[in-house]
Structure 1
Amino acid sequence: MQAMLGVDIGTTSTKVVLYDQNGQVIASANHGYPLYQTTPGMAEEAPAEIYQAMVQGLTEVTAKQPQLPIGGISFSAAMHSLILLAADGQPLTRMYTWADNRAKAAADQLRTRSDALTLYQHTGTPLHPMTPLAKLVWLEQTQPALKHAARWVVDIKSYLIYRLTGQLVMDYSIANATGLFNMQTFDWDPLALQLAAIKADQLPALVDTTAQVTGLAADLAAQWHLTPTTPLIVGASDGCLSNLGLNALQPGVAALTIGTSGAVRVVSDHPQLDANGRLFCYYLAPNRWVIGGPVNNGGNVLAWVRQQLFGHDAAVPSLAKLSDLVSQVPAGSHGLLMQPYLNGERAPLWNADARGAFFGLTAQTTRAEMTRAALEGITFNLVHVAKLVQNLTGPFTSLQATGGFANSAPWQQLIADSFATPVTIPNSFESSCLGAAILGWVSLGELANIEAASTLVGAEQTIVPDPATVATYQQLYLLYQQLQQVSQPLCQQLARFK
């Protein structure tokens, strides 16, 4: 195989990784950009800043091996992004990210429609403010002149490929997460388009995830030691590609990702939908669908705990030191529970008004106990999502896990014990980048199919559940569920009060 460039356009940064023909990392770069949050619910980013981060990353990485033959550039991107473009391709808006919550009222209206379940069954996308569908309804209601000025409605990956080649395309995987794509017809859904008040010709051309685009600008091709005919493989969404990069493709093998946010995902050979619309079902490749649920609250909750509980210390403890603290507290945090919903919640609640809480505080409660309770709350929330997924796809036999938590041994063990399932930490550098590279090799015909890439993903270590702790967490999880059920109506009232 030829070397391959994987580009992962994330919510906080863009990662670029150059892989050799054996799937080994040759070079990598990671460049961030600001998230603009100047008004309540806002979460925007500047397309030009993301473009510059991508260009800078590709320039740095390709400069390290200028003589190496590279087969192509393959892309991964965060889901649910939305940008309005003028007829000349210039952005009329910043990029609205999945975290932008200002479309809450629009999403609530969609959920109360008599055909709401039909819409979910068509698209596989839960009705939530994260979706471009809800955001387009919100823009139609609040900024109609801006929306009507748009010639094109695109995502960030479509925009970047357009900047590189002049071609405007969107893959089935990213389209599947917009709330506008019909999974049965592989075309834009007429009902969703009607609700969004846009036309199909305002959206990019739909292509498969292994589709190739050529026409790389000559100056960029020279800068990256490539040619204008070097193929750009359109790729897929980051969540779907993470399953591929973790080798979580077989029945019973789930992918667990905990970064800033988190997700639980499994791959099925056919679409499967939750009867209550609480899980997503997104396309990855022919006969490969990713079923799962995304959560808003992952490492960002730990970052909040770190700042709020320890921020006044002369030296805010590192993740490693927090892990040391957590390891000194027994499972169950001496009867302290935390609801981790500091940022509202997607799966399993799909409630933008969900709120966080500590329950069980006493005068003797320590910061270490609160930190462990936060980790347990984040994990219990993911267990809840996993149970919904298993109701559709069957029990998990193993978890392939990745994300910032993977550096914390106590959290690794906590997850194995909470899920009562062995947890494997693969040694893949960036699972979504590797997944994109694998799709690139499949597109070029250098791998027969995505399953053929299993040898490129090695396992670093496996953490086995401790039976005694599993029993403790099964008991505590029941209390966590009761607390969740009791508190949700209060969260709605608190949101209105605020």
Structure 2
Amino acid sequence: MLAVDLGTTSAKVLAINAGSLTEGGQAVIAARGEREYPLLSQEPGYAEQDPDRIAEAAAEAVREAVDGAGCGPEGVLAVAFSTAMHSLIVTDGDGKALTRVLTWADLRAAGHARKLRGSKDAADLPSRTGVPLHAMTPLAKLFWLRERRPELFASAGRFIGIKEYVLERWFGRPVPMDESTAGGTGFYNLHERTWDGEAMRIAGIDADRLPELKPSTHVLRGLLPETAAELGLSPDVPVVLGAADGPLANLGGGALEPGVASLTIGTSGAVRVAVRQPAADPHGRLFCYPLAEGWWIAGGPVNSGGVVFRWMRDKLAPDLSDGNDGYARLVELAMEAPPGAGGLLFLPHLSGERAPHWDERARGVFLGLSLEHDRRHMIRAGLEGIVLHLRSVADALAGLAGGLREIRVSGGFARSAALRQLIADILGRPVVRTDSEDASGVGAARLALHALGLMPDPAASASTVTDRCDPNPELVPVYDRLHGMFKRSYERVSDTFAELDAFRSGG
């Protein structure tokens, strides 16, 4: 099985032994391929990528994985896709890109997203689409594009995402969008499983300018012969559309049981749970995306993850920036300060925030800073702030989808035993680490085997628990108190964020 994961920073391809999955064991990864690509940010608010470079990276990574596995074209049973969400590419009638990829991190539509949040016409969109109104969504991006670049908007043939762009190069024809990825666009009606008419009306488009919708188990066949040769694949190999990377991480990491949440902290972060029916948040704090037939993933993403960790290392401890152990030394330094960082709180919203506030103007704040504090306290407060914010998401999620009894963690942040314990203490729940480092790719492979009829229940997880941290009973009430202060702090300064944003903009 080849699992192609189109991420924010790279295309990763796993060559997975199919038998290791169908026989109920751990995913045996025979080879890997990976190619990175840059995020282009020539001006504040821009977060773009070159779609052709991503397509080239995916092709190179596929060839590397096939060659590394030594299986040859006939040894590849199927190809499955996982993709980052919320991307938007404007194409002409022939499928040629007229823009770069506007990624989830592109904030140029922030003002238009605020207009949508204040509009009566859009008030019930989150309950229908399962997506909060935010600049990350293609809905907000198209609303912005129609107003700021009307000629481009009018001349556009179709609006697609990066996975569709890559696959159209492979097949030489328009391809469908899977319902899971569509769930992140702001246009997908979660209950009717169609493009939402009101969302399209607001954006000023018709369904013929969006891809056809298909389930995540839909199979494509008929690779272009020259593309198949370039990839090292047979032209007849089945290619399964797959799903969005977040929902697939729950599938690959075994977080589909009731009360079991998946918490990921990479560059950004997210908390997610699986539900058996659509669970759109009536308060617009959380998302709900399809995964596959009978499964939806509810949760909330945050901007404030590893990017804040990196900022603390670079700005507060530049002497620790050299070498591979810089982050480990940073954690050691932070742990020299007491829990609660000596009465210092940090709001970690250095690049705006998504769940549960959906506030593009939010920024970082230290509260309680005194002459007695040094960088140890500031770093500890920073790490605690990242996790306290994720607790806000987890608490909202527990209220929507039921109580959470266990947190399964992944991502670079969770490699540290001290930080896993911090997560357990702040969330007040056991934290489990599994061996699913490549959860999205493994989830895509499981879904593809299900699509081919070779795995009746893709949710039957074989993830092995490698570590468990229980909350420290003495620290749980400490962090309960701090979390209350943390939540109230955001509420008290949110108006100031708006004023500072206007000041920065010269308004």
Normalising by structure 1, what TM-score? Answer: 0.96
> Secondary structure of the equivalent of 2:35?
strand
Q: What does 1:29-428 correspond to in 2, within 5 Å?
A: 29-67=33-71, 69-167=75-173, 168-311=175-318, 315=322, 318-428=326-436
- Alignment-derived partner of residue 14 in structure 1: 11
Deviation at 1:356, TM superposition (A): 0.4
Mapped contact 2:60–2:231 kept (Cα < 8 A): no
Change over 3 Å in CA distance of 1:149–1:319 after alignment to 2: same
Which residue does the alignment assign to 1:478? 484
**What is the SS of the residue equivalent to 1:122?**
helix
Q: Aligned partners of 1:222, 1:116: CA distance in 2, in Å?
A: 47
* Mean CA deviation greater in 99-108 or 68-77: 68-77
Aligned-partner Cα distance in 2 for 1:297–1:289: 24
Give me the whole-angstrom Cα distance separating, in 2, the residues matched to 1:314 and 1:205.
Answer: 47
- Whether the aligned pair in 1 keeps the contact of 2:216 and 2:292 (CA below 8 Å) is yes
* 1:249-297 deviation digits (Å, cap 9, x = unpaired): 1110001011000011111111112221111111001111111111011
Q: Deviations over 1:282-341 (max 9, x none)?
A: 100111111111101100001011111122668476111112212322211111111000
Is the partner of 1:113 in helix, strand or coil?
coil
1:446 offset after TM fit, Å? 1.0
The correspondence of residues 460-479 of structure 1 with structure 2, limited to 5 A, is 460-479=466-485
Post-superposition CA distance 1:40-70 (Å, at most 9, x none) = 2111001011111111111111101233622
Count residues in correspondence: 493
Give percent identity, aligned residues only: 42
C-alpha distance in 1, partners of 2:79/2:300? 28
Q: Deviations over 1:347-390 (max 9, x none)?
A: 01111111101112122312122111111001000000111111
Q: Match of 2:111, as an amino acid? A: A
Contact 1:326 1:410 in 2 (8 A): no
Structure 2 unaligned spans of 5+: 21-26
Q: Which residue of structure 1 lines up, in the alignment, with residue 23 of structure 2? A: none
RMSD, aligned α-carbons: 1.4
Q: 2:126·2:282 contact (CA, 8 Å) conserved in 1?
A: no
Given candidates 21, 30, 51, the residue that maps to 1:26 is 30
Amino acid at match of 2:418: P
In 1, are the aligned partners of 2:314 and 2:321 still within 8 Å (CA)?
no
TM-score scaled by length of structure 2: 0.95
State the 1:241 CA deviation.
Answer: 0.5
CA distance in 1, matches of 2:294, 2:458: 11
SS in 2 for 1:49: helix
Change (3 A) 1:73 1:352: same
Structure 1 unmatched ranges of 5 or more: none
Q: CA deviation at 1:407?
A: 1.5
Bigger shift: 21-30 or 409-418? 21-30
2:32–2:68: 8 Å Cα contact kept in structure 1? no
